[in-house]
Amino acid sequence: MPTSVRLVAAAVIGVLAVGLLYLNLPGRNDVGGPSPTINPLLNTATWTAFTSPRYGFSAKYPASFAAVPSELAWRMPNASGNMFDGFHDDGAVKWLNGISTLLPVGASRDDWYDEYRRDLVEDEVAWEPESCFTPREDWSSTTVDGLAADLRMSCAGLEAFVFVADRVYMFGAYAYDGVTPPTLEPGVSDELRDLFELWLTTITLDPTSALYPTPVPTPGST
């Protein structure tokens, strides 16, 4: 056999041997490598259905969360924790909240946002520092039940606002352990953002079923 042919054959055998050795390395029998780890919190197949008894929406929430229906109607500009339909984890660190109210007669979307901002940062009992309320031009967008929604990031969470006819909905996700000093710059973890985005996909709006507000009787009527 010519020397050149013997050299080519030897090279081919060497390449095959290296390839077989590589294929038999530990872990190489798993085609494609190990399966990615799925966060059970984000497995919507296990989530629980919820229909708001007050605010005109339905949604699903993680199976490990507890539901806390609202006790009071949302009356702008005031708000408190027991006005939300809420869902929280075991440590009450992560929260998902839903709420809605009527848009005041004659008020524009900008008017409502201005009032909402004043309620959060300017009232005597402010809910968050001024630095946490990002300017409207820095907000982004998302969708809720196929409708366009405005997305605001705060220092402890995310909020999506949807205007439907004469009603405004607000859906939020928040995380705070009550121990770590809160940041004064807007921002949330990737896990909270992923949870919130998934939660929004489960929401269905039904403004006609909302119970608030009840009409105020005309004076003197029975």
**Reduced to 3 states, what is the DSSP secondary structure of residue 129?**
coil
Over 90: is that where the pLDDT of 120 sits? Answer: no
Name the more confident of 211 and 150.
Answer: 150
Name the more confident of 19 and 203.
Answer: 203
Answer yes or no: is 28 within a domain. Answer: no
* Mean per-residue pLDDT of the chain: 78
Residue length of the chain: 222
Answer yes or no: is 221 within a domain. Answer: no
CA Rg, the chain, in Å? 27
> Is the Cβ–Cβ distance between 154 and 135 less than 8 Å?
no
Window from 32-46, 85-99, 150-164 with minimum mean pLDDT: 32-46
Residue 155 sits in which domain range?
40-209
pTM: 0.76
Over 60: is that where the pLDDT of 216 sits? Answer: no
Mean pLDDT, residues 61-87 taken together: 84
> Is the Cβ–Cβ distance between 89 and 104 less than 8 Å?
no
Answer yes or no: is 154 within a domain. Answer: yes
DSSP states of 85-126: EEEE-TTS-EEEEEEEEEPPTT--HHHHHHHHHHHHHTSSS-
Confidence of residue 9 (pLDDT cuts 50, 70, 90): very low
Strand order in the sheet with 204-205: 48-51, 57-61, 204-205
For 156-207, the pLDDT digits (tens) are 899 999 999 889 999 999 988 766 656 667 788 899 999 999 999 999 999 9
Answer yes or no: is 127 within a domain. Answer: yes
Over 50: is that where the pLDDT of 119 sits? Answer: yes
Answer yes or no: is 143 within a domain. Answer: yes
Window from 65-74, 77-86, 123-132, 194-203 with minimum mean pLDDT: 123-132
Q: In CATH, what number is assigned to the domain containing residue 155? A: 3.40.1000.10
Answer yes or no: is 23 within a domain. Answer: no
Number of structural domains (the chain) is: 1
Window from 93-97, 118-122, 142-146 with minimum mean pLDDT: 118-122
For 27-40, the pLDDT digits (tens) are 444 455 555 667 87
Confidence of residue 77 (pLDDT cuts 50, 70, 90): low
* Close Cβ partners of 85 (under 8 Å, ≥ 6 residues apart): 50, 52, 54, 55, 67, 68, 69, 70, 97, 98, 99
Answer yes or no: is 14 within a domain. Answer: no
Answer yes or no: is 19 within a domain. Answer: no
- What pLDDT does 52 receive? 96
